[in-house]
């Protein structure tokens, strides 16, 4: 049976009806039309569903939507706007770090959390920060370049 819950997403409060087993990912994509977070493995293994919950990277497929009540949820849509991209978003474009794009929003959320806490990370630190995010396209080098570029601009 569905119950009403309140979610604070990208600074806005939403009341939605979800089942107890509804994941945060399904609530974001299915109820709030926030399709930046992607569904890949749906089991905590790829990172493409990554969002921030109270400033920490969380795999949204692994969290119940109901458990996210009272927390501050940020998706890739919330860190920049199409006409005012976050430096991480712009750097991914400028460095050519986007191919199919399926991993990109999760990579950006991991990168942003890293740069929020570590302004000038070395390459090993960058690679560690995105170790929970899989990319089938880029070979990771351009993603690492993008994060270095974003760090230089922030």
- DSSP for 23-43 reads BHHHIIIIIS---SS--SSSS
Give contact residues for ligand FES (rule: CB under 6 A): 39-42, 44-49, 59, 61, 98-104, 135-138
At CA 10, angle to CA 56 and CA 122, rounded to 5?
40
Helix and strand numbers, DSSP H then E, in the chain: 5, 5
**Minimum CB distance to ligand FES smaller for 20 or for 139:** 139
**Minimum CB distance to ligand FES smaller for 5 or for 103:** 103
Give least dist CB 31 to ligand FES, A: 17
**Minimum CB distance to ligand FES smaller for 41 or for 67:** 41
Give least dist CB 7 to ligand FES, A: 18
DSSP state of 137: S
Give least dist CB 62 to ligand FES, A: 6
């Amino acid at each position: 049976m569905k119950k009403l819950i309140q979610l604070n997403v990208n600074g806005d409060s939403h009341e939605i009806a979800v089942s107890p087993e509804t994941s945060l990912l399904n609530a974001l994509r299915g109820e709030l039309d926030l399709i930046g977070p992607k569904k890949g493995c749906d089991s905590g293994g790829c990172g493409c569903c990554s969002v921030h919950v109270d400033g920490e990277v969380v795999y949204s497929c692994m969290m119940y939507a109901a458990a996210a009540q009272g927390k501050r949820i940020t998706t890739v849509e919330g860190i920049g706007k199409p006409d005012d991209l976050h430096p991480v978003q712009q750097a991914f474009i400028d460095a050519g770090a986007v191919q199919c794009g399926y991993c990109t929003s999760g990579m950006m959320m991991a990168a942003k959390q890293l740069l929020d806490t570590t302004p000038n990370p070395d390459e090993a630190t960058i690679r560690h920060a995105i170790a929970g995010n899989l990319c089938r396209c880029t070979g990771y080098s351009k993603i690492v370049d993008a994060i270095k570029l974003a760090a230089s601009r922030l």
